[in-house]
Amino acid sequence: MSVLPISAETSIDLNSIFSAIDFEGARSIVVAVSGGSDSLALLYLLLEYRAAHSSFPGIVAVTIDHGLRQESRDEADYVGELCRKANIDHRILQWHGPKPDTGLSAKAREARYRLLCDAARVIGASMVFAGHTLDDQAETFLMRSARGTKNGDRGQAGMAPATLLERQVWLLRPLLNMRREELRDYLRKHGVVWRDDPSNESSKYERVRVRKSIQGHDLTQLGHEIRIKASRRRELNSKVATTLPSCVTVFKGIKIMIDRESWRRNEPQVQQLAIGVLLAIMGGQPFMPAAALCKKALKFMEENKRYSRLAIGRCIIETRPGNILLYREMRSIPTVTVEPGTSAIWDGRYRITNAGEQPMVIQACGKQRLDAMKDRLHDIHVPSAQSSPAFSLREGTEYLPVIDDHGKLPKGVTIERHFELFDNILVGHDELLAQCMATMFKVEPYKRSPVNQFNKN
pLDDT digits (tens, 9 = 90+) for 28-48: 999 999 999 999 999 999 999
Beta carbons of 18 and 174 less than 8 angstroms apart: yes
Strands 323-328 and 360-364: unpaired
Starting at the edge strand that comes first in sequence, how are the strands of the sheet with 389-392 ordered?
336-338, 360-364, 389-392, 398-399
Residues carrying CATH 3.40.50.620, the chain: 14-227
Over the stretch 218-237, which tens digit does the pLDDT of each residue have? 899 999 999 999 999 999 99
Give the pLDDT confidence score for residue 147 in this predicted structure. 77
Beta carbons of 334 and 351 less than 8 angstroms apart: no
Q: What is the dihedral of CA 216, 106, 92, 424, to 10 degrees?
A: 110
What's the gap between Cα 152 and its chain centre?
19
Give the pLDDT confidence score for residue 95 in this predicted structure. 87
What's the gap between Cα 101 and its chain centre?
25
Beta carbons of 367 and 346 less than 8 angstroms apart: no
Give the pLDDT confidence score for residue 1 in this predicted structure. 33
Give the pLDDT confidence score for residue 371 in this predicted structure. 84
- Give the CA radius of gyration of the chain: 25
Q: What backbone torsions phi and psi does residue 92 show, to the nearest 5 degrees?
A: -110, 125
Q: Which residues of 359-373 are buried (b: 16+ CB within 10 A; e: fewer)?
A: ebebbbbeeebbeee
Handedness of CA 36, 42, 44, 47 (dihedral sign): negative
The DSSP code sequence of 61-124 is: EEEEE-SSSTTHHHHHHHHHHHHHHHT-EEEEEE--SPPPSSSHHHHHHHHHHHHHHHHHHHHT
Give the pLDDT confidence score for residue 32 in this predicted structure. 97
The rounded distance, in Å, linking the Cα atoms of 180 and 133 is: 6
Task: For 292-430, list the strands marked E by DSSP.
Answer: 308-312, 315-319, 323-328, 336-338, 342-346, 350-354, 360-364, 389-392, 398-399, 413-417, 425-427
Give the pLDDT confidence score for residue 327 in this predicted structure. 98
pTM equals 0.91
What's the gap between Cα 360 and its chain centre?
28
Q: Report the run of H or E that residue 456 belongs to, with start and end.
A: helix 453-456
Write the DSSP symbol of residue 259: E
Give the pLDDT confidence score for residue 7 in this predicted structure. 46
Query: For residue 283, what are the contacts with CB-CB under 8 A and spacing of at least 6?
Result: 313, 314, 315, 328, 329, 348
CATH class given for the domain over 14-227? alpha beta
| Residues of the chain under the 70 pLDDT cut | 1-10, 149-152, 199-204, 395, 404-407, 453-457
The rounded distance, in Å, linking the Cα atoms of 326 and 310 is: 10
Task: For 1-57, list the strands marked E by DSSP.
Answer: 28-32
The rounded distance, in Å, linking the Cα atoms of 70 and 197 is: 11
Mean pLDDT, the chain, whole residue set:
90
Query: For residue 334, what are the contacts with CB-CB under 8 A and spacing of at least 6?
Result: 346, 347, 363
For 261-290, what is the HEC assignment? HHHHCCCHHHHHHHHHHHHHHHHCCCCCCC
Q: Report the run of H or E that residue 213 belongs to, with start and end.
A: helix 206-214
Write the DSSP symbol of residue 5: S
Q: What is the dihedral of CA 274, 164, 37, 56, to 10 degrees?
A: 140
The rounded distance, in Å, linking the Cα atoms of 362 and 402 is: 13
Handedness of CA 422, 226, 130, 238 (dihedral sign): negative
Query: What's the one-letter identity of residue 148?
Result: G
What's the gap between Cα 136 and its chain centre?
18
Query: What's the one-letter identity of residue 50?
Result: R
Give the pLDDT confidence score for residue 319 in this predicted structure. 97
The rounded distance, in Å, linking the Cα atoms of 144 and 158 is: 9
